[in-house]
Amino acid sequence: MEESLVIRVVGLFAIFLIGIVGVTLPFILSKYTPNGVYDWRIHAAALFGAGVLASASLVHLFQDAVEGFQDAGEDGYPYTGLIVLFSALLMLGIETAATMVLYGNASAADAERNIKPHACMDLEHSQHNTELADVTQSSSENLLDNSKSVPVPGEEKSRDAEDGKADIERNSSKVKKEKKGLLSLVILSLALYIHSVILGFSFGAQTDDSATVGLLIAIVAHKGFAGFALGVSALEAFGEGRGLKAKLLSLCVFVFATPVGIAAGIGYEESVDDTNTRSYQLTTSVLTAISSGMLLYIVFMEMLPKTFNVDFISRHSTFQNLVFLAMLILGAGLMSMLAIWT
* pLDDT single digits (tens) 279-309: 888 888 898 899 899 999 999 998 899 889 8
In a domain, 42, yes or no: yes
In a domain, 137, yes or no: no
Q: Is 296 left (phi over 0), alpha (psi -120 to 50) or beta?
A: alpha
**Domain membership of residue 309 as a residue range:** 3-104+165-340
pLDDT per residue over 213-234, tens digit each? 878 888 888 888 888 888 888 8
Query: What single-letter DSSP state applies at residue 340?
Result: G
Give percent helix, percent strand, percent coil of the chain, each to the nearest 5.
85, 0, 15
| Residue 174 forms part of a structural domain | yes
**What are the residues whose beta carbons fall under 8 Å from the beta carbon of 124, sequence distance 6 or more?**
none
pLDDT in tens, 140-198: 455 445 544 455 555 555 655 555 555 555 555 545 555 666 777 778 888 888 888 88
Is 81 a domain residue? yes
Rounded (5°) CA angle 65-286-77: 70
| C-alpha span between 85 and 188 (Å, rounded) | 18
In a domain, 153, yes or no: no
Under 8 Å between Cβ of 248 and 254:
no
Question: Residue 314: which H helix or E strand, with range?
Answer: helix 310-314
Sign of CA dihedral 106, 109, 110, 115: positive
With respect to residue 160, please indicate whether it lies within any of the assigned structural domains.
Answer: no
Q: In the Cβ-directed half-sphere of 158, how many Cα atoms lie within 13 Å?
A: 5
Tell me, what's the pLDDT at 177? 54
CA–CA distance, 159 with 34 (Å, rounded to integer): 36
The crossing angle, in degrees rounded to 10, of helices 278-297 and 79-103 is: 50
For residue 155, being part of any structural domain is answered with no
What global pTM score does this model have?
0.75
Assess if residue 150 is contained within a domain. Answer: no
Nearest to 199 by CA among 85, 287, 268, 276: 287
Separation CA 254–CA 190 (nearest Å): 9
What is the spatial distance between Cα 261 and Cα 240, in angstroms, rounded to a whole number? 30
Task: Tally the domains of the chain.
Answer: 1
